Amino acid sequence: MPKKQIPPNRPVYPTPAALITSVDEDGTPNILTLGEVFNISIAEPVILGIAIRQSRHSHTLISQTREFVVNLPTAAIADKVWYCGSVSGRDVDKFAESGLTPLPASEVKAPLIAECPVNIECKVTGIQVVGDHDLFLGEGMVQHVDEEVFATGGRIDVEKLDGFAFVGGEFWTFGRRI
């Protein structure tokens, strides 16, 4: 198969779409849409990574409070995910404008998003510059999962998640198990 050389540009996919919640020092929450979250350390401890541009409002909030929540959205709220990625929390209250519902977390001040079936509370363990983004590492403290997405036996049923991925600038549903 002949191959063509091109400059790489966000070359790897599919990656998990996510809504990242955080709060300012007064407790006012914000929502950041990301096209991916990284599982870096798998078990002991669980450490997730998120890459945020320095210009983003959530960069300021998470740098100050050193806490965030990763919320995995459903295809049913894809329009709200786009919306939260199209405006700045400096200008609008994204919870009020999107209609998404904040729920109290158990170990951090940032809220869970009720409409997201998976929520992972994280405490920041490090922030570093990596090229045009800053990489935030966060220890996963506790995961909340909607009771209705568990299959018999206690495993999460992926099909019940109604999740989606970020692929080449677009949102794509999960496909089928190979």
- Which residue, 4 or 91, has its beta carbon nearer to its own copies? 4
CB of 26 to its own copies, least distance (A): 26
- Which residue, 10 or 28, has its beta carbon nearer to its own copies? 10
Q: How many CA atoms lie within 13 A of 143 on its CB side?
A: 14
Whether residue 100 contacts residue 83, with contact meaning beta carbons closer than 8 Å, is answered with no
Coil, strand or helix at 64:
helix
CB of 40 to its own copies, least distance (A): 5
The number of residues in the chain equals 178
- Which residue, 27 or 45, has its beta carbon nearer to its own copies? 45
CB of 166 to its own copies, least distance (A): 9
- Which residue, 7 or 25, has its beta carbon nearer to its own copies? 7
CB of 107 to its own copies, least distance (A): 10
Whether residue 52 contacts residue 63, with contact meaning beta carbons closer than 8 Å, is answered with no
CA-nearest of 42, 11, 23, 8 to 104 is: 23
- 133 burial (CB, 10 Å; 0-12 / 13-18 / 19+) is middle
